[in-house]
């Protein structure tokens, strides 16, 4: 077993999955995240746990990876996933010939797919447009990313990982062209300290190239930032995720997210992931596109919107063997090879649906480097999500400095109510606060 100290920068789905994987193999790992849970891209997406069907035609490899981890994540984190199912539907006037290509591509990628008679679909989903001409069901699901990441980190913490939320990277400790540590600022106390590490993994997503450029003068990663707006309607119309049956495009999905519907998405290039403007024209566009799938959306209008930033990485850059495209979706850069600065790796790309796989891939890469033979078994470890009972209520109350009686009132008041009421974001928040203590 190695006694190397490893830092992971970025507490989104990728960084959290890496921390869990490394900690589960007995490695000394610390997460450094400047914000709170879900403050980056992982907290600003459409909530979909992909079946992969969306990419089956134009990116079969990404589709295969998505369906594999769709099933794994559903098993290891059932408390985060709602098995909504998904439907891909064409409307009258759409290219009906796409259906055959789509069905065959899904089967080829190993995605379970079945054509649904339109009358049956309309009976089961009465809000769907009566203009539906062809429909297929696929195993799309939705995932609560806040709960997923909290759960990953609670599990990693139980495996010995150190979790530093609210800690921002403000520099690196570099000696002889090797990264030896990370300089961090605690955004709550203002305290600055330099933490020593043998290896740093930059998993900060849309911020990855900025961190490298600002603090290490590394500019080898060609990254384009693509933002996407999502519009939320204050009503759930369908049990299933509803997708338009065509090549992926703007405004072609309506995701049922607990008691709301999320219509997504658009794509526009931005320079700064922390500061960009959203085109308000996109709200009208998304509502109009969503209403083609579910006409009742027109009557409700938008209750709120949000936008997230996805990094796009040039796939064919020659980095002299220092990077590898592990999949069609993500890439690992070893800066010791690409930039002559050792002790730091960057992983970029991917989506939440393949986060666990990315965590495994980079952890395999690291263990290989460190001579650690332990294999990953994150596909089997059920993620922690404590049931709250009289026993752990006492401990939770102590660690959160909240009185037991108040906790009881907050957590148990939702018994005997509807599903929409039982979902308690308060419980999610309280358990995430455990990570600060």
Where on the chain is the footprint of another protein (CB under 8 A)?
54-55, 58-59, 62, 224, 226-227, 246-250, 265-270, 279, 281, 285, 310-316, 325, 328-331, 348-351
71/353 Cα distance (integer angstroms): 10
Q: Which two tokens stand for residue 153?
A: 């980190």
Q: How far is the CB of 310 from another protein (least distance, A)?
A: 7
55 vs 127, beta carbon nearer another protein: 55
156/332 Cα distance (integer angstroms): 22
Strand order in the sheet with 268-270: 114-115, 132-138, 86-91, 241-244, 253-257, 260-264, 223-233, 268-270
187/104 Cα distance (integer angstroms): 51
CA angle 207, 211, 214 (to 5 degrees): 130
Q: Which two tokens stand for residue 250?
A: 């703007």
32 vs 68, beta carbon nearer another protein: 68
Q: How far is the CB of 246 from another protein (least distance, A)?
A: 8
Cβ of 247: how many Cβ atoms within 10 Å?
Answer: 14
Q: How far is the CB of 418 from another protein (least distance, A)?
A: 34
325 vs 397, beta carbon nearer another protein: 325
Q: How far is the CB of 19 from another protein (least distance, A)?
A: 22
Furthest-apart CA atoms within the chain: distance in Å:
69
240 vs 351, beta carbon nearer another protein: 351
Cα 62 to chain centroid distance, Å, stands at: 15
Q: How far is the CB of 244 from another protein (least distance, A)?
A: 11
20 vs 54, beta carbon nearer another protein: 54
Q: Which two tokens stand for residue 91?
A: 């409307």
Whether residue 283 contacts residue 231, with contact meaning beta carbons closer than 8 Å, is answered with yes
Q: How far is the CB of 311 from another protein (least distance, A)?
A: 8
Query: Cβ neighbours of residue 189 under 8 Å, at least 6 residues apart?
Result: none
2 vs 266, beta carbon nearer another protein: 266
25 vs 54, beta carbon nearer another protein: 54
HSE-CB for 90 with a 13 A CA cutoff:
18
36 vs 338, beta carbon nearer another protein: 338
Q: How far is the CB of 58 from another protein (least distance, A)?
A: 5
115/292 Cα distance (integer angstroms): 20
Q: How far is the CB of 276 from another protein (least distance, A)?
A: 9
Eight-class DSSP state of 249: -
**Would you call 123 exposed, middle or buried from its count of C-beta atoms within 10 A (0-12, 13-18, 19+)?**
exposed
């Amino acid at each position: 077993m190695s006694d190397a100290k490893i830092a992971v920068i970025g507490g989104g789905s990728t960084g959290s999955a890496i921390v869990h994987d490394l900690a589960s193999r007995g490695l000394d790992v610390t997460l450094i995240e400047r914000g709170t849970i879900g403050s980056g891209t992982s907290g600003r997406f459409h909530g979909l746990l992909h079946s992969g069907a969306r990419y089956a035609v134009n990116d079969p490899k990404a589709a295969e990876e998505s369906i594999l981890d769709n099933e794994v994540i559903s098993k290891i984190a059932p408390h985060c996933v709602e098995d909504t199912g998904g439907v891909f539907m064409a409307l009258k006037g759409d290219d009906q010939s796409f259906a055959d290509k789509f069905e065959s591509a899904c089967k080829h990628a190993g995605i379970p797919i079945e054509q649904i008679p339109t009358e049956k679909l309309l009976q089961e989903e009465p809000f769907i447009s009566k203009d539906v001409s062809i429909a297929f069901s696929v195993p799309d699901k939705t995932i609560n990313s806040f709960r997923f990441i909290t759960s990953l980190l609670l599990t990693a913490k139980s495996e010995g990982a150190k979790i530093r939320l609210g800690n921002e990277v403000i520099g690196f400790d570099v000696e002889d062209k090797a990264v030896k540590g990370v300089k961090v600022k605690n955004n709550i106390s203002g305290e600055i300290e330099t933490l020593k590490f043998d290896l740093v993994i930059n998993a900060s997503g849309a911020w990855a190239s900025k961190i490298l450029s600002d603090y290490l003068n590394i500019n080898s990663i060609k990254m384009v930032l693509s933002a996407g707006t999502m519009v939320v309607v204050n009503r759930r119309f369908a049990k299933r995720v509803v997708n338009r049956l065509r090549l992926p495009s703007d405004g072609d999905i309506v995701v049922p997210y607990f008691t709301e519907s999320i219509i997504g998405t658009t794509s526009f290039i931005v320079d700064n992931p922390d500061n960009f403007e959203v085109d308000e024209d996109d709200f009208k566009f998304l509502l109009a596109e969503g209403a083609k799938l579910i006409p009742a959306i027109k009557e409700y209008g938008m209750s709120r919107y949000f936008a997230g930033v996805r990094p796009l990485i040039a796939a064919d850059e020659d980095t002299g063997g220092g990077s590898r495209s592990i999949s069609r979706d993500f890439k690992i850069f070893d800066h010791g090879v690409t930039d002559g600065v050792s002790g730091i790796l960057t992983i970029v790309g991917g989506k939440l649906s393949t986060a666990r796989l990315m965590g495994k891939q980079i952890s395999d890469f690291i263990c290989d480097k460190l001579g650690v033979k332990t294999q990953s078994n994150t596909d089997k470890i059920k993620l922690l999500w404590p049931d709250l009972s009289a026993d752990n209520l006492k401990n939770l109350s102590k660690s959160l400095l909240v009185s037991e009686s108040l906790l009881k009132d907050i957590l148990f008041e939702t018994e005997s109510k509807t599903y929409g009421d039982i979902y308690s974001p308060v419980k999610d928040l309280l358990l995430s606060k455990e990570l600060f203590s």
